[in-house]
């Protein structure tokens, strides 16, 4: 690929809440965002979610993984085939297990299979090379957040907060010359966000999530349970740091004796307080906290954050971004960086030893000659 050449990249993300596949187009040269294109979503059915859940915590070769991978690939093909005029695909896959200090990181789904099916070049397996170089392998959206900060014309440090199944925070100095420059970015997973609340809602109410925080709004936060949660060493650990979806299984134990509403309120407070603890690691106070991911639709969680933080808290829509698609867009953007040989993570985002570009490329890149 030529330097400065803007291409149309299509990114796809299947997140830790297991709700479905987000897909979105970004026009970029891998440095600057030239524009945003169409987006689409393909939900997983309840049966499909059960197949994915059966693969959680599992590694390649273990039971349930092949079925989950086949499902992830097929679901992605179905949504990605709806797009036209695409030059390159960025395919994250579905994280089934994440243990950067031990067995590594495992995203189900083969980009080689997808490249064949779509007849397009696919960048995939974004996290493994970062982990091999001593990094956490996550979060990876921060390099895209840096580009977004430039795109919105930010002129002072700001932060992005993703409230997905897990929460992650990116602090950005938009005046830095590049995302990998020392001091440009600090990023890490704040703690569990929606995933454990979803698990509670499914167990107690047979519902996928606490829509609008309606159940939490009727409950009381039980301080004792919240304090026990905050005793976890993770919150004092200096970033970079990352989490697997179910690393905080103890949350459900801590609220086991509580009624449904108090349990939901307390777990919502746990997610929000984890973010507040994380904000203390920002190198300087951000001018604003821009919230993306499904949790921004939960006013109880957002109100707790706004009440506990000194800075403005606003959804990314306030600056013209799409909070339902930011992660899919991130993997479109990162795919172009990989194709151009640019880094996608650095010591400030994942703790990797040096800035590194992660990702395998399957198929022929735009502008390359076929052998």
Ligand X SMILES: Nc1ncnc2c1ncn2[C@@H]1O[C@H](COP(=O)(O)OP(=O)(O)OP(=O)(O)O)[C@@H](O)[C@H]1O
Ligand Y SMILES: CC(=O)N[C@H]1[C@@H]2OC[C@@H](O2)[C@@H](O)[C@@H]1O[C@H](C)C(=O)O
Going by C-alpha positions, the residue among 353, 330, 358, 328 that lies closest to residue 342 is 358
Is 19 annotated as belonging to a binding site? yes
- For residue 296, the 8-state DSSP code is G
Neighbouring CB atoms inside 10 A of 371's CB total 4
Report if residue 349 touches ligand Y, rule: CB under 6 A: no
Is 250 annotated as belonging to a binding site? no
Measured from the CB atom, the residue of 162 and 198 that comes closer to ligand Y is 162
Separation of alpha carbons 87 and 365, rounded Å = 8
CB under 5 to 8 A by kind: which of ligand X, ligand Y, none does 145 bind?
none
Residue 36: which region, alpha, beta or left (left: phi > 0; alpha: psi -120 to 50)?
Answer: beta
Least spacing, CB of residue 102 vs ligand X, in Å: 20
CB under 5 to 8 A by kind: which of ligand X, ligand Y, none does 114 bind?
none
Is 344 annotated as belonging to a binding site? no
Instruction: State phi, psi for 79 to the nearest 5 degrees.
Output: -80, -35
Least spacing, CB of residue 326 vs ligand X, in Å: 9
Query: What distances in angstroms separate CA 125 from CA 13, 109, 119, 225, 310, one per listed residue?
Result: 12, 9, 18, 38, 38
Residue with tokens 């880094």: 343
Measured from the CB atom, the residue of 173 and 327 that comes closer to ligand Y is 327
Is 18 annotated as belonging to a binding site? yes
Residue with tokens 């891998």: 30
Measured from the CB atom, the residue of 171 and 219 that comes closer to ligand Y is 171
Measured from the CB atom, the residue of 56 and 258 that comes closer to ligand Y is 56
Is 349 annotated as belonging to a binding site? no
- The residues that touch ligand X, with contacts defined as CB under 6 A, are 15-17, 19, 162, 164-166, 194, 198, 209-213, 293-295, 297-298, 327
Report if residue 186 touches ligand Y, rule: CB under 6 A: no
| Contacts of residue 184, Cβ cutoff 8 Å, sequence gap at least 6 | 146, 172, 173, 176, 177, 178, 346, 348
Least spacing, CB of residue 327 vs ligand Y, in Å: 4
**Binding residues vs ligand Y (CB under 6 A):** 15-16, 95, 98, 105, 138-141, 162, 164-166, 168, 189, 242, 327
Positions at the binding site for ATP: 15-22
Positions at the binding site: 15-22
């Amino acid at each position: 690929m030529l330097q400065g050449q803007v291409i149309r990249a299509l990114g796809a993300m299947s997140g830790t809440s297991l709700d479905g596949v987000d897909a979105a187009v970004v026009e970029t040269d891998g440095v600057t965002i030239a524009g945003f294109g169409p987006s689409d979503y393909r939900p997983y059915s309840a049966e499909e979610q059960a197949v994915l859940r059966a693969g959680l915590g599992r590694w390649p070769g273990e039971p349930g993984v092949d079925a989950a991978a086949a499902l992830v690939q097929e679901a992605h093909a179905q949504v990605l085939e709806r797009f036209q005029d695409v030059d390159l695909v960025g395919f994250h896959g579905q994280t089934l297990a994440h243990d950067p200090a031990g067995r590594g990181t495992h995203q189900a789904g083969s980009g080689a299979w997808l490249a064949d099916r779509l007849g397009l070049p696919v960048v995939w397996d974004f996290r493994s090379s970062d982990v091999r170089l001593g990094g956490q392998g996550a979060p990876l959206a921060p390099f895209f957040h840096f580009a977004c900060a430039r795109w919105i014309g930010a002129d002072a440090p700001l932060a992005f907060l993703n409230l997905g199944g897990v929460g992650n925070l990116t602090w950005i100095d938009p005046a830095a010359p590049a995302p990998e420059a020392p001091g440009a970015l600090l990023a890490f997973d704040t703690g569990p966000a929606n995933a454990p609340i979803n698990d509670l809602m499914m167990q107690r109410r047979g519902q996928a999530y606490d829509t609008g925080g309606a159940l939490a709004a009727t409950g009381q936060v039980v301080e004792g349970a919240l304090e026990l949660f905050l005793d976890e060493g993770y919150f004092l650990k200096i970033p970079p740091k990352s989490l697997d979806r179910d690393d905080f299984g103890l949350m459900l134990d801590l609220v086991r004796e509580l009624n449904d509403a108090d349990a939901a309120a307390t777990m919502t407070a746990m997610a929000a307080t984890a973010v507040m603890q994380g904000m203390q690691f920002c190198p300087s106070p951000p001018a604003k906290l821009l919230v993306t991911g499904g949790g921004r639709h939960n006013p109880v969680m957002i109100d707790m954050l706004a009440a506990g933080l000194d800075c403005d808290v606003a959804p990314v829509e306030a600056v013209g971004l799409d909070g339902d698609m930011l992660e899919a867009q991130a993997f479109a953007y990162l795919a172009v960086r990989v194709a151009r040989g640019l880094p996608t993570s650095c010591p400030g985002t994942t703790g990797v030893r040096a800035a590194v570009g992660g990702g395998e490329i399957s198929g022929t890149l735009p502008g390359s000659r076929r052998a």
